[in-house]
Amino acid sequence: MATRTAGDLTRPVLTAHGVARAFGPTVVLAGVDLAIAAGETVALLGGSGSGKSTLLRVLAGLDDEATGEHVLHGTAAVVFQEHRLLPWKRVADNVALGLAGPGVGVRVDRALAEVGLADRGRAWPAELSGGQAQRVAVARALVREPDLLLLDEPFGALDALTRLRMQGLLRRLRAEHGFAALLVTHDVEEALLLADRVLLLDDGVIAEEVPVDLGPAPRPDDPALGALRRRLLDRLGVPTA
């Protein structure tokens, strides 16, 4: 497998300039500039309440009250921390939500197979485990063949083992489909394992940008990984010494 390198920003899938958002007197985003290249994975890290989810919602077009500019060159799909499946619709119907046309059934079946749930299309959401439900949410995003996947703490509610499996699934799907991703996370380890670049949100702006060039499968004791981990944790105010 080739080493992942930061993407070509002359071919961005998303650009944002001066994105700002306040809730009443509280300024949460104070002028965010960022660009994501086609096929690139960018992790957005920041302390609790730093505005990560707010930024993701703005970039997803889900917040009308933000100011500034953001342009999506292609299509995007969002996966949230909660699976947001409709309990009264079967799994396959949840994945197909909003899609129409003769090929939809085949596309839904393929997306479910890709997340390892080929046999659960007729199940109800309540019959699934947390990890399975989140895989359905990933299938629902995938079936739209997005150029950009916006992921808001997508594995945050899962147990550690399921979380590791989901990270592996995301890596595999990204290699197969080539979508770009913006991954909101508080988990420094997850950011370093999945992203080509980490952005740190602090005081309403991108305060730091850290390219991650660790090769496809860095060992946990890789010194370069350790150095990046320490740098990010320090920046987040978590002492490592």
Ligand X SMILES: Nc1ncnc2c1ncn2[C@@H]1O[C@H](COP(=O)(O)OP(=O)(O)OP(=O)(O)O)[C@@H](O)[C@H]1O
User: Which residues contact ligand X by CB under 6 A?
Assistant: 23, 28, 46, 48-54, 186
Given the complex with ligand X, which of 52 and 107 has the nearer CB atom? 52
Please give the structure tokens belonging to residue 180. Answer: 């770009």
Q: Give the Cα separation of 30 and 205 in Å (integer).
A: 6
Given the complex with ligand X, which of 23 and 98 has the nearer CB atom? 23
Q: Give the Cα separation of 228 and 214 in Å (integer).
A: 10
Smallest distance, ligand X to C-beta of residue 128, A = 24
Smallest distance, ligand X to C-beta of residue 37, A = 23
Single out the residue of 39, 5, 25, 30 nearest to residue 174, CA to CA.
Answer: 39
> What interhelical angle do 160-177 and 130-142 show, nearest 10?
20
Smallest distance, ligand X to C-beta of residue 108, A = 31
Burial of 156 from C-beta contacts in 10 A (0-12 / 13-18 / 19+): middle
Smallest distance, ligand X to C-beta of residue 222, A = 27
Given the complex with ligand X, which of 26 and 129 has the nearer CB atom? 26
Given the complex with ligand X, which of 128 and 184 has the nearer CB atom? 184
Smallest distance, ligand X to C-beta of residue 89, A = 27
Given the complex with ligand X, which of 80 and 132 has the nearer CB atom? 80
DSSP H helices, 39-181, are 52-59, 91-96, 104-114, 130-142, 160-177
